[in-house]
C-alpha cells in the first residue's frame, strides 16, 4: 500500500514538473507550438463543434465495439497470455508488447495537454480525471511491463489491436477532458465525483496489488501456473480484472460523460469475459482450487 501511495506521489510530482516545464517556455514558444497543433486540428475539423461531435461519435462507436466484442467472446477467448494462439500472428515478446501497446495511452494525452489548446485544463475536475487516467497508464506502460516474470508471448494481431485501441482511447478521454468537459462549480464535492474517485483509487490499488501477487507466484525463470492466494484472490479468481473494472467504473462515475462510460463498458466486457474464463481454467487445472472462490464479483459471481 505504501508503494502505491509513493507511486501516486511520484506521478503527481511528474505532472508538476511537466507543468513547470510548460510554464518556463517563452510566450513565443508556447504560441508557436499551440499554433502548429491548432492548425493541424483545423485541417481535421472545421470547428470545435465538429470535433466534439466526432468525440461523441467515437464514444458511441466504442459502445458498439463493446457489444461486438461481447458476442465474439462468447465463442473465443481474447488471444493473449494463457489463451495465446499462433492463428493470430507471430509472437511478440510479452514485455515489448505490453510496453509498446500501452504507451500511446500515456503519450497521446500528454501530447494533447502540452501542445494543443486546452480550454478546460485549469479546472480541478478535469485535472483530477486526467491524473487518474495518466496514473493508470504510467504504471501500465512504464512500470508493469518490466516487472513481468516469464509469461507467454503476445500474438501480433492482439498486440496491434491493443496498440490502436490505446491511441483511440487516449485521444478520446484526454481531448474531451482537456478541452470540452464542462463541469458545474463544486463538482469535486459532488457525491458522484467523491464516490467515483474513491472507487477509482480502490480499484487501482486492487489491480496493482493483484498483479504483484501474480508476479510473485513465479520464481525467476519459471513459466508455469499456480493458485494465487492473498488479497482479493481469496474471494475471486480474477482479482486483477475486478480491480480494473472497479477502477474504470469509478472513473466513469466521477467523469459523468458518455466518453468515460463507454470506456468503462468496454473494460467490463473484455475483462469480465477473461475473468470468467480464468475461473473455469483454474477449476479444471487444479483439483484443490478453493470451491468457495467466485470468478469475478466477491460472494456473487
- pLDDT digits 0-9 by tens, 127-184: 999 999 999 999 999 999 998 887 778 889 889 999 999 999 999 999 999 999 999 9
Q: Are 206 and 136 in contact (CB under 8 A)?
A: no
**Which phi-psi region, left, alpha or beta, contains residue 195 (left: φ > 0; alpha: ψ -120 to 50)?**
alpha
All 3 cell numbers of residue 79?
A: 488471444
Q: Are 178 and 121 in contact (CB under 8 A)?
A: yes
Beta-ladder partners of 169? none
Q: Which domain holds residue 215?
A: 2-285
Q: Does residue 59 form part of some domain? A: yes
Q: Does residue 236 form part of some domain? A: yes
CA atoms within 13 A on the CB side of 87: 7
110 pLDDT exceeds 80?
yes
Q: Does residue 89 form part of some domain? A: yes
What is the C-alpha separation between 253 and 274, in angstroms, rounded?
23
Q: Does residue 155 form part of some domain? A: yes
Task: Look at residue 85 in the predicted model and tell me its pLDDT.
Answer: 58
Q: Give which of 280, 290, 152 is closest to 227, Cα–Cα.
A: 290
What is the C-alpha separation between 86 and 103, in angstroms, rounded?
24
Instruction: Count structural domains, the chain.
Output: 1
Taking CA atoms, 109 is separated from 80, 90, 253, in Å, by 26, 30, 20
The residue written with cell numbers 503519450 in the block is 107
Q: Does residue 222 form part of some domain? A: yes
Could you give phi then psi for residue 294, rounded to 5 degrees?
Answer: -85, 175
Q: What is the DSSP letter of 294?
A: B
Q: Does residue 145 form part of some domain? A: yes
Percent of the chain topping pLDDT 90 = 51
Mean pLDDT computed over 40-55: 80
Q: What is the pLDDT of residues 251-289, one digit of tens each?
A: 999 999 999 999 999 999 999 988 888 888 888 888 889
Percent of the chain topping pLDDT 70 = 80
3-class secondary structure, 153: coil
What is the C-alpha separation between 176 and 87, in angstroms, rounded?
37
All 3 cell numbers of residue 276?
A: 470468467
Task: Look at residue 287 in the predicted model and tell me its pLDDT.
Answer: 85
Task: Look at residue 281 in the predicted model and tell me its pLDDT.
Answer: 87
What is the C-alpha separation between 177 and 128, in angstroms, rounded?
10
Task: Look at residue 100 in the predicted model and tell me its pLDDT.
Answer: 95
Q: What is the pLDDT of residues 129-145, one digit of tens each?
A: 999 999 999 999 999 99
236 pLDDT exceeds 70?
yes
Q: How many CB atoms lie within 10 A of CB 228?
A: 21
Q: Does residue 300 form part of some domain? A: no
All 3 cell numbers of residue 130?
A: 486526467
Beta-ladder partners of 155? 91
Mean pLDDT computed over 24-35: 56
Amino acid at each position: 500500500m505504501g508503494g502505491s501511495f509513493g507511486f501516486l506521489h511520484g506521478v503527481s510530482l511528474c505532472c508538476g514538473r511537466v507543468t513547470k516545464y510548460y510554464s518556463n517556455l517563452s510566450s513565443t514558444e508556447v504560441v508557436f507550438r499551440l499554433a502548429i497543433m491548432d492548425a493541424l486540428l483545423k485541417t481535421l475539423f472545421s470547428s470545435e463543434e465538429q470535433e466534439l461531435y466526432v468525440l461523441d461519435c467515437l464514444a458511441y462507436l466504442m459502445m458498439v465495439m463493446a457489444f461486438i466484442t461481447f458476442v465474439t467472446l462468447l465463442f473465443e477467448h481474447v488471444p493473449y497470455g494463457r489463451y495465446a494462439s499462433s492463428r493470430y500472428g507471430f509472437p511478440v515478446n510479452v514485455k515489448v508488447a505490453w510496453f509498446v501497446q500501452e504507451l500511446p495511452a500515456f503519450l497521446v494525452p500528454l501530447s494533447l495537454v502540452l501542445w494543443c489548446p486546452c480550454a478546460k485544463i485549469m479546472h480541478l475536475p478535469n485535472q483530477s480525471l486526467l491524473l487518474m487516467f495518466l496514473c493508470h497508464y504510467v504504471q501500465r506502460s512504464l512500470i508493469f511491463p518490466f516487472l513481468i516474470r516469464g509469461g507467454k508471448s503476445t500474438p501480433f494481431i492482439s498486440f496491434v489491436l491493443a496498440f490502436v485501441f490505446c491511441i483511440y482511447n487516449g485521444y478520446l478521454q484526454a481531448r474531451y477532458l482537456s478541452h470540452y468537459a464542462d463541469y458545474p462549480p463544486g463538482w469535486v464535492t459532488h457525491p458522484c465525483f467523491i464516490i467515483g474517485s474513491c472507487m477509482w483509487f480502490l480499484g487501482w490499488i486492487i489491480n496493482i496489488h493483484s498483479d504483484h501477487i501474480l508476479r510473485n507466484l513465479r520464481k525467476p525463470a519459471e513459466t508455469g501456473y499456480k493458485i494465487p492466494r492473498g488479497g482479493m484472490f481469496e474471494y475471486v479468481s480474477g482479482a486483477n480484472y475486478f480491480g480494473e473494472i472497479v477502477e474504470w467504473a469509478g472513473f466513469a462515475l466521477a467523469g459523468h460523460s458518455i466518453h468515460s462510460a463507454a470506456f468503462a463498458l468496454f473494460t467490463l466486457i473484455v475483462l469480465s469475459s477473461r475473468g470468467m474464463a480464468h475461473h473455469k481454467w483454474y477449476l479444471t487445472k487444479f483439483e484443490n482450487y478453493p470451491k468457495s472462490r467466485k470468478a469475478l464479483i466477491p460472494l456473487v459471481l
